[in-house]
Structure formats: C-alpha cells, structure tokens
Homo-oligomer: A and B are copies of this chain.
Amino acid sequence: MSGVVAQRPARRRLELDERKRELLAAARAEFTARPYDEVSLDRVAARAGSSKALLYHYFPSKRALYTATLKQAAAELLTRTEPDPRWAPDERLRRGLEAYLDYAEEAGPGYVALLRGGVGVDKQVFEIVERTRERFISRAVAMMGVTDPPPTLQVALRGWLGFVEAASIEYLRHRRLTRQQLLSLLMRTAIAAVDGA
C-alpha cells in the first residue's frame, strides 16, 4: 500500500518530464519549419497535444522556448559528431563532417537558425553557438595531438569553422553541387588552413 502511494509522485513527475520533452520536440519542429516571428506558441502547444498554460509553465516566453530548443539542438549536434578515438585523424575529420552535414541537411533552416540565431542574436543565443564552436575547436586540437595550440592554429581552425558554416548554408540553399563535392572542398580547405599554422 505504501509502495503505491510512494509511486504516485514519481510517476506524475515522469509524466511531466515527458510533457516537457514533447513540448520541446514540437517547438523544435516549429522553429525548424518557419522563421522565428512566424512561430506561434498556440501551434506549438497544439502540436504537442498540450495546453498553452503548461507551455508557459515550462517556458516563460517564446524566447525561453527558443533558447531551450537551440541548446538541445547544439547538444545533439555535438553528440552526433563525436569522433571515435579509434579512427585515424583523416577518418575522424571525414566522418565528423559527414555527421555535421547529415545534421545540417535534416535540420535545414533550423541549422541556419542555430548559426545565425534566427531573428535575433541575443547574448544567450550567441553563447550557445559560441560554446558549440569552441567544443569543435577543442576536439580538432585534441585530434591533432596538440596540447598548447599556437595562436595561428586557433585562428586557422576558427576560420575553417566559418568556412564550413558558410559553405554548408550556401549548399543547402541551392543544392547545386553534390555532397561529395562539398565534402572534398571542406576537407581540402581544412588541410590548407591547418598546414603550416
């Protein structure tokens, strides 16, 4: 009997966590599908089969909801591109880029939003994007086996990340070249940027 009583709050919490996850998933789908200004919180709630009151309970504003979806998207991007330490460096680079492009293609405008912060780049959004970039750079530095990266390498990797972002956006916008062409462009410039840096 006492077991049943103890179980209830836990189950209730699980249900609420599940609700929050559903709301977040619905928000991501909406923010991916249309520009920030056109996202309606009514539609997000309806999509999650939830109420707007519960949405506001978890996310006090549209901005807060947006920031939460961006954080989730950034975390997912980092997980999906996590290299396997058993791979050789060029294999890590290629597979990392493949995973990055898979992500960008699936997310579509959501990828651009992740980079550009959608309609408004506030400090919080900027920091999420920056932290993601810094993680990519630390991974690259670790992959190269460098413990104290010289400033030229730091700038080269930063620049190259800017290259990957800009080229991927352009690729997604027009889709006039193959993924293989994009991939070899990204790998070629990675080598050129890092070479001698």
Chain B, Cβ-Cβ closest to A170: B158
Q: Would A188 and B177 count as touching, CB distance under 8 A?
A: no
Chain B residues contacting A186 (CB-CB under 8 Å) are 159
Q: Are A177 and B155 in contact (CB under 8 A)?
A: yes
A117 interface residue (CB < 8 Å to B)? yes
**A163 is contacted by which of B116, B193, B195 (Cβ under 8 Å)?**
B193
For the complex, would chain A's binding face be called helix, strand, loop or mixed by DSSP majority?
helix
Q: Which of B120, B171, B193 contacts A189 (CB 8 A)?
A: B193
Give min CB distance, A67 to chain B, whole Å: 15
Give Cα A82–Cα B196 distance, bound, in whole angstroms: 30
Sorting the interface of chain A by its residue count into under 10, 10 to 19, 20 to 34 or 35 or more gives 35 or more
Say yes or no: A159 contacts B151, CB within 8 Å.
no
A154 touching B170, Cβ below 8 Å: yes
The 8 A CB mask of A153-174 against B (1 = contact, 0 = none) is 0111011111111110111001
Q: Which residues of A contact B (CB under 8 A)?
A: 116-122, 126, 151-152, 154-156, 158-167, 169-171, 174, 176-177, 181-182, 185-186, 188-189, 191-193, 195-197
